[in-house]
């Protein structure tokens, strides 16, 4: 499933990619498949490579969660920039009940999304949490009836795609810089990227003005 999702992310030229495909439903890892796997096997397979491809893409990602997002499913949703969910969706990191910990970035992304105390509760208990709790904690942006989640996510994507692609990518990078980087780095980064956008916009206007008289 991660391969099916990561390849379109890398290949598409559009500004927004929606990890909602009819067969792309993830409630977490396949427990039966995990049984019997050794560390050398997992190391050779580099199972986190596909996660990194999705997480590191510069395109805005929108997740539409319509059911259970548990374990790897929750981690997959957290890789996205915006999460829309149905009112009946469930979230959680139940790995501790299997004697393991979240291995796809859950321990790092969850604390940044909902804070240390809530993240500790989710991870140390392995309990499921409702969509309402996830929204109140800041993990989910908006809740909708189940049949409206995907249409609303598509509507949001179309709106974002209508803006300048460069500006959108820069805005995403600036927000992520503020979330993951130091305060000093962020304070320096944002003005620089803002000036870059202004510079490119100015050059575009100059080029258009130079082109128009010739074609009158």
Is residue 70 domain-shared with residue 155, that is, in the same domain?
Answer: yes
Strand order in the sheet with 68-70: 68-70, 90-92, 128-130
Q: Give residues with Cβ within 8 angstroms of 76, minimum separation 6.
A: 2, 5, 19, 26, 51, 54, 63, 69, 104
Quick one: angle between helices 106-114 and 116-125, nearest 10? 140
Whole-angstrom distance, CA of residue 40 vs CA of residue 189: 40
Assigned domain for 215 exists: no
Residue with tokens 């499933």: 1
Of the candidates 42, 150, 147, 51, the residue with the CA atom closest to the CA atom of residue 108: 51
Nearest partner of 79 among 50, 118, 101, judged by Cα: 50
3-state secondary structure at position 86: strand
pLDDT band, residue 156 (cuts 50/70/90): very high
Is 1 domain-assigned? no
pLDDT interval class at 105 (50, 70, 90): confident
What's the pLDDT at 207? 55
Which of 43-47, 110-114, 134-138, 157-161 is predicted most confidently?
A: 134-138
Q: Are residues 140 and 171 in the same domain?
A: no
Name which of 113, 85, 100, 6 is nearest 51 in CA terms.
6
Let me know if residue 113 belongs to a domain. Answer: yes
Residue 35 has pLDDT above 90, yes or no: no
Contact of 131 with 146, CB cutoff 8 Å: no
Average pLDDT (102-122) is 92
What rounded mean pLDDT belongs to the chain?
A: 76
Within this chain, do residues 32 and 102 fall inside the same structural domain, yes or no?
A: yes
The count of domains in the chain is: 2
Q: Are residues 149 and 200 in the same domain?
A: no
Co-location of 100 and 116 in the same domain: yes
What pLDDT score does 48 carry?
Answer: 64
- Quote the distance between the C-alpha of residue 44 and its chain's center: 26
Tell me what percent of the residues of the chain surpass a pLDDT of 70. 59
CATH of the domain at 46: 3.90.226.10
What mean pLDDT do residues 183-205 have?
52
Neighbour tally for 119: CB within 10 Å: 22
Q: Which of 130, 147, 162 represents a domain boundary (last residue)?
A: 162
pLDDT at 176: 85
**Residue 21's pLDDT is what?**
47
Residues 176 and 84 in one domain: no
For residue 3, being part of any structural domain is answered with no
- Domain interval for residue 29: 8-162
Q: Which of 72, 104, 106, 157 is catalytic?
A: 72
Decide if 182 is inside a domain: yes
User: 71 catalytic, yes or no?
Assistant: no
DSSP state of 62: E
Which one of the listed residues 69, 95, 119, 131 is annotated catalytic?
95
**Which member of 55, 75, 89, 134 is catalytic?**
75
Instruction: Answer whether 64's CB lies under 8 Å from 18's CB.
Output: yes
Indicate if 116 and 204 belong to the same structural domain: no
200/158 same-domain check? no
The reply to whether 26 and 81 lie within a common domain is yes
Tokens 């959680």 -> residue: 92
Question: What are the structure tokens assigned to 156, written together?
Answer: 């949001």
Residue 28's region, left for phi above 0, alpha for psi from -120 to 50, else beta, is left
Clarify whether residues 175 and 129 are in a common domain: no
Residue 32 lies in a domain: yes
* Same domain membership, residue 192 and residue 91: no
216 inside domain: no
Report the pLDDT value the prediction gives residue 92, as an integer from 0 to 100.
Answer: 96
Residue 2 lies in a domain: no
Place of tokens 């259970």: 68
Q: 29 and 97: one domain?
A: yes
Identify whether 72 is a catalytic site residue: yes
The reply to whether 29 belongs to the active site is yes
């Amino acid at each position: 499933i991660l391969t099916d999702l990561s390849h379109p992310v890398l290949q598409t030229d559009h500004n927004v990619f929606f990890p909602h495909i009819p067969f792309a439903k993830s409630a977490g890892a396949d427990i039966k498949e995990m049984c019997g796997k050794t560390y050398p096997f997992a190391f050779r397979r580099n199972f986190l490579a596909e996660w990194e491809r999705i997480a590191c893409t510069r395109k805005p990602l929108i997740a539409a969660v319509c059911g259970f997002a548990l374990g790897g499913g929750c981690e997959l949703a957290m890789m996205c920039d915006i999460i829309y969910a149905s009112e009946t969706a469930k979230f959680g990191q139940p790995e501790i009940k299997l004697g393991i910990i979240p291995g796809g970035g859950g321990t790092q992304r969850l604390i940044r999304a909902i804070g240390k105390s809530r993240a500790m509760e989710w991870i140390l208990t392995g309990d499921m949490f409702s969509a309402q709790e996830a929204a109140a904690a800041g993990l989910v942006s908006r809740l909708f009836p189940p049949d409206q989640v995907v249409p609303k996510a598509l509507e949001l994507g179309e709106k974002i795609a209508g803006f300048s692609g460069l500006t959108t990518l820069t805005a995403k990078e600036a927000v992520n810089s503020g979330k993951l980087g130091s305060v000093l780095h962020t304070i320096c980064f944002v003005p620089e990227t803002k000036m870059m956008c202004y510079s490119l916009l100015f050059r575009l206007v100059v080029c258009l003005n130079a082109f128009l008289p010739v074609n009158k």
